Chains A and B, each alone.
Chain A
Amino acid sequence: MIPAILRRVLTMAVTLLVISALVFFVIKLPPGDYLTNRIMELRATGDAGSIAKAELLIRQYGIDRPVWQQYLMWVGLMPGPGGFSGLLQGDWGWSFEYDKPVADVVGDALWLTLLVNLTAVIFVHLVAIPAAIYSATHRHTAGDAVVTLLGYVGLAVPGFLLALILLFYANRWFGLSIGGLYESSLTNRPWDGEKIRSLLAHLVVPTLVIGLGGTAAMIRRMRANLLDELAKPYTVTARAKGLPPTRALLKYPFRMSLNPFVADIGNLLPHLVSGSVLVSLVLSLPTVGPLLLEALRNQDQFMAGFILMFVASLTVVGMLISDLTLVWLDPRIRMGLR
């Protein structure tokens, strides 16, 4: 068991390294970079001080070096010229766009992203699982039809549109300020009770909007899985033993139908981050989605690279979590590891 986990962690590290190389070279693929473009602009205006500063940054972060050296410096496998130590040492680099360290720009956005998306994931499961169970056990009834219809509506309505509608009514009925994750007047306050209350109130709309599509999809898939499992002989065996229907359902077919979803945790997290960019823009949420979009457009390489690596790590860690959960849930996989 433990060697198997160690082996997994080892492959995770290798995977992340490969991803980092891909991320870096893809970012570097378009000609030019933020600083050289900026210097050309500055030359046109003739601001000597700014030019000197940009050239200093180029030297400090080794952007005049060959790409492979730049990569090694960024990852932190090679010491940078100006004290830049790289990702492995916890130095995430400089955002040229914001003229601040990446860590300062990203700051709160990282954990707010995690918060918003984890809330959405929990919402998806809390709503989808009971709805799917109801739908599967009451197949071809009016209730099933209603759940199915709502599911299709959820799939079909674009998130950003729903976001706009909800924002409008949230403001009209509950007096919530438009957009953001807390009242804009609280931006520079430390995290005290009032700010947290404001955060919770503002979480409702993004959770609904981001979670809705996933909920609809999950209801459909879970219902199909459950219907398959309900027809299996061991479900009949459980009934023939005299188990009451609900207990029989939860103990046997429901547990079997969970496997594909547990296996999906790894995909869920990054998908929610990248999938919610549009919604984040519309709702002006301070999450990493919009930051990533902007960084990619401006070739702000350390910023883009860091956010992409953050999403990749979420994926890889999510995969590990789903693998370990599967091992715990399913003895067939557990025995396979021995």
Chain B
Amino acid sequence: MSALLSIRDLAVAFRTEAGRFEALHGLSLDIPRGRTLALVGESGSGKSVTAQAILRILPRSAEITRGQMLFGADGETVDLARLPEEGPAIQAIRGRKIAMIFQEPMTCLSPLHTVGDQIGEALRIHTGADRRESDARTEEALARVGFPDPKRALKTYPFELSGGLRQRAMIAMALILKPALLVADEPTTALDVTTQAQILALLNRLQDETGMAILLITHDLGVVANIAHEVAVLYRGRLVEAGPKDVVMRHPGHPYLKALIEAVPRFDMAPGERLTPIRPAKAEIPPQREAPRLAGPILAVEGVSKTFTLRAGRLFAKPRTVRAVADVSLRLEGGRTLGLVGESGSGKTTVSKMVMRALAPDAGRILFDGGAGPQDVHAFSGEALFAYRRTVQFVFQDPYASLDPRMTVRQILSEPMEIHGVAHEERRRRCRELMAMVGLEAGALSRYPHAFSGGQRQRIGIARALALEPRLLVLDEPVSALDVSVQAQILNLLKDLQTALGLSYLIVSHNLAVIDYMADTISVMCRGRIVEEAPRAALFRHPVHPYTRALLAAVPDPSLDHPLDMAAVTGEASDPSRWEAPFRLAPDETGAMVEIEGGHWVRHTAADARRAA
């Protein structure tokens, strides 16, 4: 049987101010019927352009310059590349025979229309179904993708749903007409690991049920290893490798794919093993002043809680409250790294904001030791607070949003030093030094952020955080917004800086592999509480708490020998009342931490904790 979609010598070019730029140079690719083809590559490799070209939804500035896309479904073959872009022929194929899901489930659904309206729309325009019929079919589709209450979901708006449910709604929308081909552009990149595993399991099941083909676009080799049948690797607009998954992943031929596999943090790495970045950053770190020797930890969070009040809807109604952080304690030794892991909404970012003194805790203390003994961060004022701001710095998740596009790199790096009164000459010297430290050319100081790639921008962000010679860096998802191929580069840079400067890191992430690579001790947070904390090796070798185990089980491993257990991923891991004894907690129960081996603490029910003690 012939392929469902045969792409032959496809070239796509963009018109830019600098002239024509060819994003795809003669791509040839077959998407087999009923199978999943993973298209792998870094940003700019042309993988999203391929997806847009198939549906003919390329941006206005792009055009297909040559090639064919032969799509053979229902006994007839059309060349998608020949159809007029806004004609009825392609409109009849979009959504009916080829459907697409996107990376950001929030921005891909209109916030002004109900989920039911948006899902049923494809049905109404392609089959002329009336409202009642489309609602009935939509309800079925929602049930099929695992909505808990499909009837009610028809009338909900996207912003009332969690990220995972929104992506399920997108899938329901794409699949309502049972298309022959589903194009999935990074469908799980914006989701938590546990949600990602559920969505992958769902795609697998739906493929078995409907026999559709999937073109999966991703940069995550873990996802590829778990659901693809075939793999194609794109590099700078060219196909560099293609074939069955087993062959390609086990015996990568092209140096780019080999390098990509080396660059991803894995759980089975030897202690002290370094990642091999595809493009290493050459950092020159000058010798620094000696860090003060501390008697205790540099940062101690003691029983911190934070409750947020939501605005009351009615005139005299009692305001609702959300407990974001409940009785959290952490210890970070000087020069070490503490990893804070949890799903979105677990309270980890709130904790980091309280450490930064951007939020005040309702209860508990945060003690920081800058060399003069532990002091309560939230008791600082005036001079002491100003000095604290200097010693604790923040690295943001999104390197695109965290740098002002109207400031040059020099201005960006100088601003914190200006605020803290560093002399002009010293600022200029320090700027050059900082650029060398993060492996960038000093000549780039006069350029603006848009001239840099994501990884380079993140290095600028790190340089800015280092400008004032801080002792503690708070890293909030430092590589989540970056390509896999540059993640290794940033992580290695952070490690080198830590060794050379004696920095302490508090790293917040939902990516367990990153935490595993970076952290010395790890705390796992769920619903505002720490449920397990342990030294790195102990936690990953011997996870005890059901939530930690669920998190670990949900991480797709790039090696083919550890497939995800698709049957085991459910959404129940973050519900304390569903944990097995002795971990099960009633809705208002706190439980207590129990030490099961040296430094390895797990939260048990209080009764059980007393028995253990």
**Residues of chain A having any CB pair with chain B under 8 Å:** 3, 6-7, 139, 232-234, 236-245, 247, 251-252, 255-256, 329-332, 335-338
Of chain A, the residue at the smallest CB distance from B105 is: A233
Q: Is the CB of A239 within 8 A of B94?
A: yes
Report A228 CB to chain B, min CB distance, Å. 12
Of chain A, the residue at the smallest CB distance from B313 is: A338
Could you list 24 examples of A-B contacts with CB < 8 Å? A3-B315, A139-B60, A233-B104, A234-B107, A234-B110, A236-B102, A236-B108, A237-B102, A237-B170, A237-B173, A238-B110, A240-B55, A240-B94, A241-B121, A241-B125, A242-B93, A242-B95, A242-B125, A247-B125, A252-B110, A252-B112, A332-B159, A335-B159, A336-B311
Report B507 CB to chain A, min CB distance, Å. 30
A338-B92 Cα distance, complex, nearest whole Å: 41
A244-B84 Cα distance, complex, nearest whole Å: 13
Contact of B122 among A241, A244, A332 (CB under 8 A): A241
Report B70 CB to chain A, min CB distance, Å. 20
Of chain B, the residue at the smallest CB distance from A236 is: B57
Residues of B within 8 A of A338 (CB): 313
Residues of A within 8 A of B43 (CB): none
Report A226 CB to chain B, min CB distance, Å. 14
Q: Is the CB of B315 within 8 A of A240?
A: no
Residues of A within 8 A of B159 (CB): 332, 335
Contact with A along B295-332 (1 / 0, CB 8 A): 00000000000000001011100000000000000000
Contact of A242 among B104, B122, B160 (CB under 8 A): B122
Contact with A along B48-79 (1 / 0, CB 8 A): 00000001010010000000000000000000
Report B83 CB to chain A, min CB distance, Å. 13
Q: Is the CB of B160 within 8 A of A237?
A: no
Of chain A, the residue at the smallest CB distance from B314 is: A3
Residues of A within 8 A of B160 (CB): 335
Residues of A within 8 A of B109 (CB): 234, 237
Describe B's contact surface by its main secondary structure: loop
Contact with A along B166-195 (1 / 0, CB 8 A): 000010010000000000000000000000
CB proximity to A under 8 Å, residues B93-144? 93-96, 99-100, 102, 104, 107-114, 121-122, 125-126
Assess A242 versus B92: contact at CB under 8 Å? Given A233-B102, A335-B160.
yes
Q: Is the CB of A242 within 8 A of B110?
A: no
Report A328 CB to chain B, min CB distance, Å. 11
Q: Is the CB of B96 within 8 A of A242?
A: yes
Contact of A240 among B57, B111, B125, B126 (CB under 8 A): B57
What is the size, in residues, of chain B's interface with A at 8 Å between Cβ atoms? 36
User: Does B256 lie at the interface of the complex (its beta carbon under 8 Å from any beta carbon of A)?
Assistant: no
Report A7 CB to chain B, min CB distance, Å. 6
Residues of B within 8 A of A255 (CB): 110, 112
Residues of B within 8 A of A236 (CB): 57, 102, 108
A335-B95 Cα distance, complex, nearest whole Å: 30
Report B188 CB to chain A, min CB distance, Å. 16
Residues of B within 8 A of A330 (CB): 111-112
Q: Is the CB of B108 within 8 A of A337?
A: no
Assess A233 versus B125: contact at CB under 8 Å? Given A240-B55, A245-B86.
no
A331-B155 Cα distance, complex, nearest whole Å: 11
User: Does B91 lie at the interface of the complex (its beta carbon under 8 Å from any beta carbon of A)?
Assistant: yes
Residues of A within 8 A of B91 (CB): 242-244
Of chain A, the residue at the smallest CB distance from B61 is: A140
Residues of B within 8 A of A232 (CB): 107
Report B95 CB to chain A, min CB distance, Å. 4
Q: Is the CB of A237 within 8 A of B108?
A: yes
Residues of A within 8 A of B102 (CB): 233, 236-237
User: Does B157 lie at the interface of the complex (its beta carbon under 8 Å from any beta carbon of A)?
Assistant: yes
Residues of A within 8 A of B111 (CB): 330-332
Residues of A within 8 A of B113 (CB): 251-252
Assess A332 versus B157: contact at CB under 8 Å? Given A233-B107, A241-B125, A255-B112.
yes
Q: Is the CB of A239 within 8 A of B57?
A: yes
Assess A242 versus B314: contact at CB under 8 Å? Given A256-B112, A329-B112, A335-B160.
no
